Amino acid sequence: MHMTMVRLGALALAAGIGAAIGPLGLLGARVNAQQPASARPAVSQGLRPSTQADGLLRSDLSLMTRTASIAVTPGLKAGGPEHQSIASAGTGSASAAGRVRIGQLRTNGALQFGTVGVGRLSQTAVTFDLSLLRSGDSWQLEAVEVPEATMPGPSASASGQAPVSALAGAGPPGSPAALAAPAAPPSPLTIPLTRHKSAASSAMLVASWSPRSRDAAGLALTWGDLRLEADGQFAEPKLPRPNPNRQVDPVNRKHDEPNAGARLLMLTQLNESAMGLPNGQRFSVTCARTFPRGQRSISAAGTIGRPGPDVEGPDFARLMSTSDGAVVELTESPVPRLVVDAPLRFGKLVVRAGNQTPGHPGAYGLWLKRVGSAWRLLFNSESDVWGTQRDPKFDVGEVDLAYTSGGDAKRPFGIALVPTAADRGRLVLAWGPHDWSAEFTTAP
């Protein structure tokens, strides 16, 4: 078993699945519930947020072992000057144009939006400044790569000297420093956006990711009655054959330091969607990745993996025949897992941090439940169990789900936390043509 885990660790690290890159590198340690909900300690006070507060509203998505994060400022209000300037760009002359800087995109993957490639497969995340462009009826998202040397940071080193980047071009004429001309600014990338009718008006600019397939996602911008979308595809890293003789050096880290190695391994088997608040609090949900049937995958336990909850398996075939009052069992994957830094309110139900261990994020298993012709979402305090191992005595509560059908019939099971404002969002589940959703808000 020890050798199996060494091989798995070498496989994940060799794949270069992103080191800890701000919010992209976070993963709380998994803790199995050992007590009924009634016997567990109350939520701890003073829980430290998972990420540094930066005043931005963030949406993260991890597919194909890679993560993309888009962050926008909550100050871009609907009806505000920025919104009005770009809304008026489409009036009058057909050549009228508008531009608004909206935030940043950060990824350690290679994303493809039609013919436009953004990012690259790397252990280091790439950051892009984002601006929303409009020319008449044409909408685009402009992405300009931010060189690492110009990323926000201290203006001087610990020794009091100016950063190396600030010294470029300095020195006597003809010296190496003087001959080192600053690099040319990166060329802007323009991602075409398609405008859609918005189902509801958004009081502020919100950006979000939603999974569409095992390797594709939708990027959406909502602002007032404006909704703009782009379809992106995540490139799959080519995993090198692991060296069975490679020795993995021990890693020393602080007790509260994020375990980057655990996250690398986790993303080989799970997809993750997350929402980050301006105050640094983070909420995430994970579900099993799907693999083409016949493809072998290795789990974190060193066993040969299953294809996951796709639409060709037995779990999907039984979905619509689920008995009244029964939960949907997943025989080919673990139960989806919700992790919360702070309380979330779903209708009258509040799920809180600290339900597993005081002072740590809360963790819950999520189960679809059939109730007559409707559906509910059931929260259970056992968050690390297989999709057939629900224990009712750990149930926390359940909420009604909105249900629609008519989506892409080939979609594998997917789940996402979609921000709709700086203090609220929507939990969305999709499987084949079926869609379920529940609204939530942050709760005191």
Average pLDDT value for the chain: 80
Show the CA angle centred on residue 156, arms to residues 153 and 158, nearest 5°: 100
Residue recorded with tokens 């703009």: 228
Residue 153 lies in a domain: no
Average pLDDT on 107-133 reads 94
Residue 421 lies in a domain: yes
Contact status, residue 411 vs residue 396, Cβ threshold 8 Å: no
Show the CA angle centred on residue 66, arms to residues 61 and 72, nearest 5°: 40
Residue 335 lies in a domain: yes
Which residues in 282-311 are b (16+ Cβ under 10 Å) and which e? Answer: bbbbbbbbbbeeeeebbebeeeebbbbbbb
Closest to 372 in 3D by CA, of 403, 414, 396, 347: 403
Average pLDDT on 87-101 reads 71
Q: Would you say residue 66 has pLDDT above 90?
A: yes
**289-293, 350-354, 404-408, range with the lowest pLDDT:** 289-293
Each residue of 313-356: pLDDT tens digit? 999 999 999 999 999 999 999 999 999 999 999 999 999 999 99
Residue 318 lies in a domain: yes
Q: Would you say residue 163 has pLDDT above 80?
A: no
Contact status, residue 393 vs residue 38, Cβ threshold 8 Å: no
* Burial of 339 from C-beta contacts in 10 A (0-12 / 13-18 / 19+): buried
Residue 139 pairs in a beta bridge with 134, 193
Residue 147 lies in a domain: no
CB atoms within 10 A of CB 132: 26
Q: Would you say residue 144 has pLDDT above 80?
A: yes
Residue 9 lies in a domain: yes
Each residue of 172-192: pLDDT tens digit? 444 444 445 556 677 899 999
If one counts the domains in the chain, the total is 1
CB atoms within 10 A of CB 268: 21
CB atoms within 10 A of CB 254: 6
Residue 270 lies in a domain: yes
Residue 425 lies in a domain: yes
Percent of the chain at pLDDT above 90?
60
Confidence at residue 205, expressed as pLDDT on a 0 to 100 scale: 97
Phi/psi for 368 (5° steps) reads -75, 135
Which of the pair, 260 or 370, is modelled with greater confidence? 370
Helix (H) or strand (E) holding 14: helix 2-14
**Boundaries of domain holding 381:** 2-52+220-236+258-442
pTM of the model: 0.80
In the structure, what pLDDT confidence band is assigned to residue 150 with cuts at 50, 70 and 90? low
Contact status, residue 107 vs residue 64, Cβ threshold 8 Å: no
